[in-house]
Amino acid sequence: MVIDARVPGGEIEATTLRDLDLPGGAERVLLVTGCATLTPDAAEELAGRRLRLVGVDRFSVGGPQTHRILFAAGVVVLEGLDLSAAPPLLGGSQAQQVAHRCVTVMLNSTVPLSY
């Protein structure tokens, strides 16, 4: 599912994610951030939703604490995605196809996947 999470100010907080009213049961979320980072409380919010994957259109999802929170919850993080062609609030099988393509690109990349 692709979610438009752009906010002025450069940081996406937990309240921003709650205001977006993410659908329950989503396992994979790709966030259009407009270069904003996730704060640690936003990472806690996403981890609490038992997501399996969070992708962002930025070079990094956030700072070290944000990464630690997501990794500790078993969330796979994809960074540096080009989501410009993905329509926001994409759902169903199309969302799975987009997430699958992103994972395939990352796994075939020569860039190290460690943080």
Q: What is the pLDDT of residues 48-75, one digit of tens each?
A: 999 999 999 999 999 999 999 999 999 9
One-letter amino acid identity for 107? L
* Per CATH, domain 2-107 is 2.60.40.10: no
In this structure, is the dihedral angle defined by the CA atoms of residues 36, 41, 20 and 105, taken in order, positive or negative? positive
Closest CA to 53 of 13, 102, 86: 102
**Taking the domains of the chain in order of start, what are their residue ranges?**
2-107
All residue ranges of the chain with pLDDT < 70 are 88-115
User: For position 23, what pLDDT does the model report?
Assistant: 79
Whole-number pLDDT of residue 53:
96
Residue whose C-alpha is closest to residue 55's, from 103, 112, 6, 14: 103
Q: What is the structure's pLDDT at 60? A: 94
Structural contact between residues 30 and 98, judged by C-beta atoms closer than 8 angstroms: yes
